[in-house]
Amino acid sequence: MDKIYNHKGIEERIYSMWEKGGYFTPKIDPAKKPFTILLPLPNANDPMHMGHALFTVQDILIRYHRMKGDPALWLPGGDHAGIETQFVFEKYLSKQGKSRFDFDRETLYRMISEFVEKNKNINRDQMKRLGFSLDWTRYHYSLEPEIVETVLDTFRQLYKDGLIYRDERLVNYCTRCGTGFSDLEVKDQELEGLLYFINFPLLKGDFIQIATTRPETILGDVAVMVNPKDKRYKHLVGETVILPITNRKIPIIADEHVDMKFGTGAVKVTPNHDFNDFEIAKKHKLYYPPIIGFEGKMQNTKTDYDGLKVLIAREKILGDLKVKNLYAYAKKHHMVVKICYKCGKTLEPLPLPQWYVKTKPLAAPAIKAVKEGKTKIVPLKRFEKLYFDWMKNILDWNISRQIVWGPRLPVWYKVDGNEQRIWVSFLTQGSVKQGLVDQHLRDGYSFDEIVKGLQRLLIPIYENKNKQPEVYVGKKQPEDGLWIQETDTFDTWFLSSQWPLTTLGFPDSEDFRYFYPTSLLDTMWDILFFWVARMMMMGLYRAKEVPFKIIHLHCRIVDAKGQKMAKSRGNVMNPIDMVDKYGADALRFSLIFGAAPGSDIAISDDKIRGMRNFSNKIWNVGRFIKINIDNFKIQNIDISECGFKAHRSHLQPADKKILSQLGSLEKAVTKNIEGYRFDKAAERLYEFIWHVFADKYIEAVKERLKNNDQTALSVLKKVFDACLILLHPFMPFVTEEIYEKLNSDRKIPLIISSWPQV
């Protein structure tokens, strides 16, 4: 053995040996109970970040169960990541001076597909660098035809069962990314803004003063609203207000929704650009077209403000209000705005027809399954409480996304003279049937508006409510008449919610029958609702059985100061850089060591370097034992009987003590892995190998080894071999390499050696 352990070259060779040996691929054995984990599918187009390195937890469990003799399947996959991938591709186009609107839908989809294909193996190769023993023969990608067909079939089944519907509601819309987001995908950002006080003239004279954080939406107001209990304004309810700027007449209405302590106690109502106002306007039957479009520009005001970006319009309106002596004052106001989790732009509440899943009927069985223990959430009880709280208050799920990258909804609308009405859903980035283009051109819409999708709502939903388009949900477009397919694609989470089903070949593949339900899902707590709860709902809906028996929620990685890693902070660590520098084993062990359940995992260069020192210590111990074995051979001392049993009668007190301590270690490590306390298992191994075994026992037997004591060598090797087995799930490369050096006569590699019986 070399004097110093050099991970470079060794790790690649060992991983290749494991993969070529087929050790990651379990055999279906009806006589054995499988252990199955699905990899939380990373973006197939993205390099790994440090959070992905925590897949180490899953690898520990898979290697442990494999060594126990269980058919252990760790199933890998990659996500097409709809919004994220299109967002990255659009940035790529932007650098070339181009936009998504420069291409028809089919061309844009093909370009993104080619872009993804070039990068598809990046994180797959990086996971191999970290030693993850995934069954690559079963790798799946979320846009595989069989997977997409199952997803489409789920949509059709939900629609048939009355669990899917289409409705126009306000959605959180990003005018930069060009799509709406579900409530779960929205980030709240606290900031110090301004609260503006504006005088609205009354028709009969005088004025009523309102307070607003968004003066630009005055152009779309339908009412001024006060609380019916507010004595200041009781005499004004039912009166008419002259809307500043446009001079449109609007009523003063009363509603208990108004907080009398906010501002002046009088607020304006803008139904198409505020979630609360949207519901209030429906209640009072007040409507006005949206005055902010999907490009983030003013529209439908019939004023000079049309075409201006929102913030520019705000400043112009404030200036005009001052000229008219209607602007009172502004004061600082602490507020929370919703921002796009992808680009950071403030989201606009905009009215948009979307497809929704009725979630309460799906949530009820998922709640019951956890309450009955069919699925357990570990390691902390508070995660279970979070799950119940969210599922009980669950909102219907918006599954429509206005992007190209992803499967389109299997929905068609009939064109029967109702083109304007149904065009709400068909602003494609590309070519459409010429007859429809001609029709819309006759109706006064420009070719750019139609083909490039620069305006989504051509006719508001509340106009001509009785003229709804005929909808068909099926496998293909109906043959009678002219139909257009919905251009919205599925929310990525809708596809991934069915991942346990689609990757295992639901409903009748051999893999599905054997490996479903899976044994455990390990992920971070922050996607408990995004993904985990939705998989529970879909698994129970389609397969009538929970998708996993255990939900293990691991911790979040932070830097040495306890701060969340972010590019803006400059504290992001690239896991592959750390592997290059210190080795995969060092990184893996540093992520587990000291990581108590529910706490953040602090990771730093110093900590990883410390674990590199531990791997060097293990190497040095192995090298010391190998030197002694070789020395015995050189002296022609018969070591063929150097097994532990042959020397049981010659054990000295130090031997008996270390063997007893080894037995305790085996029990503790097994118990802690079974109990998901990987941190405690790692700490026990570290303490035993370095301080108990190396510092004490080896020092105690050195003189005996010099005197060719075969018992000492026997115990030394037995204990160290056992340590390598126990440590292997945590540090697979260095343990496999040493085990091979010390046991060159054995054909069974460490990866499939037997776990100790305890």
The DSSP result for 34-78, as a single string, is -EEEE--PPBTTS---TTGGGGHHHHHHHHHHHHTT--EEEE-EE
φ, ψ (nearest 5 deg) of residue 411: -125, 135
Place of tokens 């039957």: 285
DSSP state of 650: G
CATH of 585-752, one of 1.10.730.10, 3.30.450.20, 3.90.1150.10, 1.10.3720.10: 1.10.730.10
Q: Report the alpha-carbon distance of residue 31 to residue 58 in Å, rounded.
A: 24
Instruction: Judge whether 557 and 54 are in contact, CB under 8 Å.
Output: yes
Q: Where are the extended beta strands (E) located within 596-689?
A: 601-602
Place of tokens 């993904």: 531
Per-residue confidence (pLDDT) for residue 428, from 0 to 100: 36
Q: Which of 624, 617, 622, 550 is nearest to 589 (CA)?
A: 617
Q: Which of 642, 378, 514, 536 is nearest to 36 (CA)?
A: 514
Rounded to 10 deg, the angle between the 653-674 and 710-727 helix axes is 10
pTM of this structure = 0.86
Residues (pLDDT < 50) of the chain are 418-438, 440-442, 445-466
Q: Report the alpha-carbon distance of residue 150 to residue 40 in Å, rounded.
A: 19
Q: Where are the extended beta strands (E) located within 305-347?
A: 327-340
pLDDT single digits (tens) 168-188: 888 898 888 877 887 777 888
Rg for the chain, CA atoms, rounded: 32
For the stretch 98-106, contacts whose Cβ atoms lie closer than 8 Å and that sit 24 or more positions apart, written own/partner, are 100/178, 100/404, 100/429, 101/429, 101/452, 101/453, 101/454, 103/429, 103/430, 104/428, 104/429, 104/430, 104/431, 105/404, 105/428, 105/429, 105/430, 105/431, 105/487, 106/430, 106/431
The neighbour count for residue 234, using CB atoms within 10 Å, is: 12
Surface-to-core class of residue 658, CB atoms within 10 Å of its CB (0-12 exposed, 13-18 middle, 19+ buried): buried
- In this structure, the dihedral spanned by the alpha carbons of residues 696, 698, 704 and 708, taken in order and rounded to 10 degrees, is 170
The neighbour count for residue 219, using CB atoms within 10 Å, is: 26
φ, ψ (nearest 5 deg) of residue 639: -110, 10
Torsion 531-533-539-541 (CA) sign: negative
Type of residue numbered 486: E
Q: What is the largest CA-CA distance in the chain?
A: 116
Q: Report the alpha-carbon distance of residue 83 to residue 400 in Å, rounded.
A: 11
Give the pairing type, strands 266-269 and 223-226: antiparallel
Core vs surface per residue 473-509: b (16+ CB within 10 A) or e: beeeeeeeeebbbbbbbbbbbbbbbbbbbbbbbbeee
Please name every residue paired with 111 in a beta bridge, in sequence order, or none if there are none.
Answer: none
- What is the chain's length? 758
The neighbour count for residue 48, using CB atoms within 10 Å, is: 22
Please name every residue paired with 207 in a beta bridge, in sequence order, or none if there are none.
Answer: 201
Q: Report the alpha-carbon distance of residue 385 to residue 391 in Å, rounded.
A: 10
Residue ranges of domains in the chain: 32-163+358-409+488-554, 181-349, 412-486, 585-752
Q: Which of 348, 400, 430, 30 is nearest to 172 (CA)?
A: 348
Helix (H, G, I), strand (E, B) or coil at 440: helix
CATH-assigned architecture of domain 32-163+358-409+488-554: 3-Layer(aba) Sandwich (3.40)
Topology (CATH) of 181-349: Isoleucyl-tRNA Synthetase; domain 2 (3.90.740)
- In this structure, the dihedral spanned by the alpha carbons of residues 412, 415, 418 and 419, taken in order and rounded to 10 degrees, is 90
Q: Report the alpha-carbon distance of residue 423 to residue 439 in Å, rounded.
A: 11
Q: Report the alpha-carbon distance of residue 127 to residue 630 in Å, rounded.
A: 36
Per-residue confidence (pLDDT) for residue 459, from 0 to 100: 31
Per-residue confidence (pLDDT) for residue 558, from 0 to 100: 83
Per-residue confidence (pLDDT) for residue 636, from 0 to 100: 81
Per-residue confidence (pLDDT) for residue 6, from 0 to 100: 93
* Angle in degrees, CA 302, 305, 306, rounded to 5: 60
Q: Report the alpha-carbon distance of residue 237 to residue 699 in Å, rounded.
A: 91
Cα–Cα distance list, 733 to 129, 586, 740 (Å):
10, 10, 11
Q: Please give the helix or strand (H or E) that residue 16 lies within, else none.
A: helix 7-20
